[in-house]
Amino acid sequence: MRVLKSATAAVLAVAMVAVPMAAQAAEAGRVGASQSKAVERLSVRPTKKSELRGGSIVIALLAAAAVVGGIVIAADGKNKPKSP
């Protein structure tokens, strides 16, 4: 049973690697040299500036407060065993 599980895991790992590679190779074989430029991705530059800014300090302070609160709750000392 243990060998069967190991073999199944190995086959699945190989399949997880091989299937996307085969799909990519099939797509590359379908696109000819004349069409290769039409398939390339184009990047787009943003037209206006993002309105999201400066929130990292607030998030860092909230995270630090959560960590300190967790430590205080865990080290409270009231967690004595209730078994006799």
Would residue 50 count as lying in a domain?
Answer: no
pTM over 0.75: no
Report the share of the chain in percent with pLDDT over 70: 67
Helix (H) / strand (E) containing 60: helix 56-74
Cα angle 50-52-55, degrees, rounded to a multiple of 5: 150
State which residues form the domain around 2. Answer: 1-30
Which candidate, 47, 48, 28, 49, places its Cα nearest to that of 39?
28
Would residue 11 count as lying in a domain?
Answer: yes
28-37: pLDDT as tens digits: 666 554 555 5
Tokens found for residue 4: 């069967």
Would residue 74 count as lying in a domain?
Answer: no
Our count of domains for the chain comes to: 1
Would residue 43 count as lying in a domain?
Answer: no
15-27: pLDDT as tens digits: 999 888 888 777 6
User: How far is 62 from 68, CA to CA, in rounded Å?
Assistant: 10
Would residue 10 count as lying in a domain?
Answer: yes
Would residue 23 count as lying in a domain?
Answer: yes
Would residue 51 count as lying in a domain?
Answer: no
